[in-house]
Amino acid sequence: MVIKEYESFDETEVLSLYMDVGWSAYEKQKEALRLGFQNSLLVLAAYEEESLVGIIRVVGDGYTIIFVQDLLVRPKFQRQGIGSALLREIMNRYGHVRQIELVTDNTRKTAAFYQSMGFWELSEMNCRGFMRVKPA
């Protein structure tokens, strides 16, 4: 597996990855996804040979805060350390940043993964998170 910066947006391979993990909302918002990638602080991709198997996308200012917007690994490649390697690379590159935040599914599996990587639930830090989602 090779991790490298994802510099040239390829709609077909990115949408294939998003659909493979069940994130189908972007199928109807292809332009928004392209612009999101284009305006991200950093996007890293994991490749197995020539095939895209995982991606992590970060937004923010790069100095006081970053937000892990997307961390996806194709199901048949999950539990092989790819997500951990992608997240570790972000934490290494942005180790100087005070806050690294993310939002994820509310499952034991995802909570255990992020806690194993040193993340805390906001409530454990006497904080509360809020989100507003644009109505469909």
Residue 85, domain member (yes or no): yes
Q: What is the CATH number of the domain that holds 86?
A: 3.40.630.30
How many domains are contained in the chain? Answer: 1
Distances 2 to 15, 19, 68 between C-alpha atoms, Å = 20, 22, 20
Residue 96, domain member (yes or no): yes
Residue segments in the chain with a per-residue pLDDT below the cut of 70? 136
Cα separation, 18 vs 74, whole angstroms: 8
Residue 13, domain member (yes or no): yes
**pLDDT tens digit string along 21-46?**
999 888 888 999 999 999 999 999 99
Q: pLDDT at position 134, please?
A: 83
Q: pLDDT at position 64, please?
A: 97
Calculate the CA 99 to chain-centre distance.
Answer: 15
Residue 26, domain member (yes or no): yes
Q: Quick one: which of 60, 45, 48, 50 has its CA closest to 14?
A: 45
Residue 110, domain member (yes or no): no
Residue 79, domain member (yes or no): yes
Its pTM stands at: 0.93
Q: pLDDT at position 90, please?
A: 98
Q: pLDDT at position 66, please?
A: 98
